[in-house]
Amino acid sequence: LESVVSGSPRGTTEEVVRVELGARSYPIYIGAGIIETIGPRLRERGAASRLAVVTNPTVAQLYADRVCRSLEETGFTPVLIEIPDGEEHKNLASLASIYDRLIAAQLDRGATLVALGGGVVGDIGGLAAATFLRGVSLVQVPTTLVAQVDASVGGKTAINHQAGKNLIGAFYQPRMVLADVEVLGSLPHRELVSGLAEVIKYAIILDADFFDFLESALPQALDADPEVLRRIVSVCCRLKAAVVGEDETESGYRAVLNFGHTVGHAIEVLTDYNRYLHGEAVAVGMVFATLLSEARGYCDPATGDRIRRLVERARLPVEVPRDIDAGALASAIGVDKKTRDGAVKFVCVEAIGRSRFERIEGRALAAYLTMWRAQETESAEPRGTE
Ligand code: NAD
Ligand code: GLY
């Protein structure tokens, strides 16, 4: 693992985090205003001149010109491929349309596929790169906070199936990630805040100093301050790179990144993926996991209070919505693809920056929800007068 701060070709501060995976190691470049360095960087790496840029209409309108100009100025002939915007298009039809365009453009095995967009474009573009001609080079240019701190790093690629999210996919590492924090300035505020949930997640499970930093820099992060976002993205990438370097294919430790996701994912399923953004559901899941850790005596109440306070200050939701009953939550957790023999490998908090795994059954998790709701109702009931 290596982190280097250097001057970027445009004179802005740039950081390089390396994901160390032997022959498949790669750099993550993080900086403000570095999207236009894509052409020179690919030229340096000797990429073939014909390449594809996969994106969606929203991102294309904002950034495709800058990316394609940089590529053309350095001698590339990019083919721009757009898939429709939205999680509902992270499917086989979009993937097939990418294959059709790659074949029509006669791209060969030496080609590079650049995924320019949020996690949806990154996941589907990554799967296209992993499978087209049994694998072509992949470059991730993430444009959302979720994609910069999480989806573009670590090689998970996927599409959804009617039966569930990310059911079809592959581990396929990119050759390079180019995270330009300046592009986060055009993100809808709700998307930025949703990304901050994943950022808070890294701090809770892996890095107490980073948690301290977030407590003080949260207002600037919510204002999309590029310097604060650069620091946030680089810390998160360093943390994720370390986890992935240790356990690339999630045979064990990588599951720590699922903190807040067991309950979060169940909430997304139970609200048909249309009420909460992913990070918002994860925020509820993180607070749930923290309360559970407190209830079982794994962490002290002061730790729990700090976590809840930060999540609330980020204006993220903290409670399982009342219209989800405990039984439904238990069933949704029971069918999660990570559940084995009815129990999940649940990530608990021990202290800020330290976590542990516990195998817990879905119905045991739901029983805590029932208990907390009963306690709340009790404390909200007016006391009788004598
Ligand atoms: P997204 O890709 O749907 O992007 C959110 C919205 O922001 C979209 O409408 C998009 O067009 C728009 N957008 C993107 N960049 C923009 C910009 N700079 N300015 C303005 N608008 C912009 O959502 P997401 O939150 O980035 O990613 C969620 C997806 O990522 C999910 O499918 C999830 O499964 C996946 N994911 C994968 C991993 C992984 O490890 N592979 C990790 C986390 C999430
Ligand atoms: N997003 C979780 C992981 O990459 O493992």
Q: For residue range 79-103, what is the model confidence (pLDDT) as tens digits? A: 999 999 999 999 999 999 999 999 9
Query: Distance between CA 378 and CA 268 in Å, rounded?
Result: 28
State the closest ligand 1 atom to the C-alpha of 158, by its place in the atom list counted from 1. 41
Alpha helices (H) along the chain: 38-44, 57-59, 65-73, 92-104, 119-131, 145-146, 189-206, 208-222, 226-246, 261-270, 278-295, 301-313, 326-334, 362-380
Q: Which residues have C-beta within 8 Å of that of residue 70, sequence separation ≥ 6?
A: 35, 36, 37, 38, 39, 40
Which whole-number Å values give the CA distances from 283 to 37, 201, 206, 250, 351, in the listed order?
34, 8, 16, 22, 17
Residue with tokens 């949260």: 218
**pLDDT above 80: residue 336:** no
Query: Distance between CA 82 and CA 114 in Å, rounded?
Result: 12
**Sign (positive/negative) of CA torsion 352, 353, 359, 361?**
positive
Quote the pLDDT of residue 16: 97
CA of 118 to the centre of ligand 1 (A): 3
Quote the pLDDT of residue 3: 45
CA of 375 to the centre of ligand 1 (A): 37
Query: Distance between CA 280 and CA 83 in Å, rounded?
Result: 25
Residues in the chain: 386
**Sign (positive/negative) of CA torsion 236, 237, 242, 245?**
positive
pLDDT band of 1, cuts 50, 70, 90:
very low
User: For residues 116-132, b (16+ Cβ closer than 10 Å) or e, as one string?
Assistant: bbbbbbbbbbbbbbbbb
Give the closest residue (by CA) to ligand 1 atom 29.
Answer: 119
Quote the pLDDT of residue 165: 87
Quote the pLDDT of residue 108: 95
Ligand at shortest distance from the CA of 279? 1
Quote the pLDDT of residue 386: 42
Q: Which of 5-9, 123-127, 198-202, 203-207 has the lowest mean pLDDT?
A: 5-9
Average pLDDT on 269-292 reads 96
Q: Is 195 helix (H, G, I), strand (E, B) or coil?
A: helix
- Does residue 161 carry a catalytic annotation? no
Quote the pLDDT of residue 337: 65
Instruction: Label each residue of 363-383 as H, E or C.
Output: HHHHHHHHHHHHHHHHHHCCC
Which one is catalytic: 82, 258, 268, 294? 258
Neighbours of 302 (CB within 10 A): 10
What percent of the chain lies above the pLDDT cut of 70?
95
